[in-house]
Structure 1
Amino acid sequence: MKARVRLLKTIGEVAAELGIETHVLRHWEQVGALTVGRDGNGYRTYNDSAIEQARTVLKLRRVGLSLPEVTAAMAPTKSAAQAIVKAKIAALEDEIVRKQQAITFLQHTAECRHRYLDSCPDCASFVRES
């Protein structure tokens, strides 16, 4: 039975695979969101685990977490990670409510029969909402 050889990838290969720039991977490593090995010459080497970690960081960034939030969400303690994720869910839900309110207001103003929005009681009602 042959031993499985783990292929290591360079920073350029991983960046191309993920569709990001190499400086992004370096930055993630610098701020502690990504752990990467080094070869004997000091070059970054990405094993399967580091590549999966980079994919996770990328996905968390794309769903709106800041790098400090990403680092916290990838914390070894589940409760710390869950707290960050739950806070982001609440923030996204609040954002959805605000955007839906904006759509409702804009739809009304687009269809409003009043010539000036400030003469429309419905528009005035929308404006007073926080």
Structure 2
Amino acid sequence: MGKTIGQVAAELGIEAHVLRHWEQVGALAVRRDGSGYRVYDDAAVEQARTVRRLRSVGLSLPEVIAAMAPTRSAAQAVVATKIAELEDDIARRRQAITFLRHTLECRHRYLDECPDCARFVRD
């Protein structure tokens, strides 16, 4: 016997409409009973957990679908691309922090008078 959409949603800490959407776009496969109700077996619950986790690390639904592709190379390509994007974002944020820390400690009254600030702006 499986779980209902409400049970799975509560277990995963998400709303039922999110599970319906994931199913609608093809990120989640759920079987139906004779009355048309969704029945989540262990595999479907695990698949929903995986979708939730991939979404929580920043993958879009199309990326999630591709990352769960049956071929390992297709999945790896999506994950490698996301890693590169995240690393670029980390580098940009580190530069922003460095610049902002400098502005806190800058001895110049106006940032445009500071050669270091000008260098940050140019980069």
TM-score category of the 2 structures, normalised to the smaller one: over 0.9
Measure, in 2, the Cα distance between the counterparts of 1:19 and 1:112: 46
Give a deviation string over 1:41-64, Cα, whole Å, max 9, x none.
Answer: 000010000000000000000000
Q: Which amino acid letter does the alignment assign opposite residue 30 of structure 2?
A: V
State the distance in 2 between where 1:113 and 1:62 align: 41
Counterpart for residue 21 of structure 1: 15
Mapped to 1, the partners of 2:35 and 2:23 lie a distance apart of 18
1:101 aligns with 2:103: no
For residues 10 and 110 of structure 1, what CA distance do their matches in structure 2 show? 54
Decide which of 27, 37, 54 is 1:33's aligned counterpart: 27
Name the counterpart of 2:119. 125
List runs of 5+ in structure 1 lacking aligned partners.
1-6
Large movers: runs of 4+ above 6 Å: none
Aligned identity (percent) is: 76
1:49 match: 43
Structure 2 gap ranges (5+): none
Q: CA deviation at 1:97?
A: 0.3
Residue 27 of structure 1, CA deviation = 0.3
Task: For 2:116 and 2:59, locate their aligned partners in 1 and report how far apart those are by CA, in whole Å.
Answer: 36
Give 2:59's aligned amino acid: L
**Residue 91 of structure 1, CA deviation:** 0.4
Give TM-score scaled by structure 2 length: 0.99
In structure 2, the residue matched to 1:4 is: none
Give the aligned CA root-mean-square deviation in angstroms: 0.4
Partner-residue secondary structure (3-state), 2:69: coil
CA distance in 2, matches of 1:18, 1:34: 14
Q: Counterparts of 2:12 and 2:65 in 1: how far apart (Å)?
A: 19
Matched, 1:64 2:58: yes
Report the Cα distance in structure 1 between the residues aligned to 2:22 and 2:79, rounded to whole angstroms.
Answer: 19
Question: How far apart, CA to CA, are the structure 1 residues paired with 2:105 and 2:20?
Answer: 50
Which residue number corresponds to residue 71 of structure 2?
Answer: 77
Q: Name whichever structure is richer in helix by fraction.
A: 2
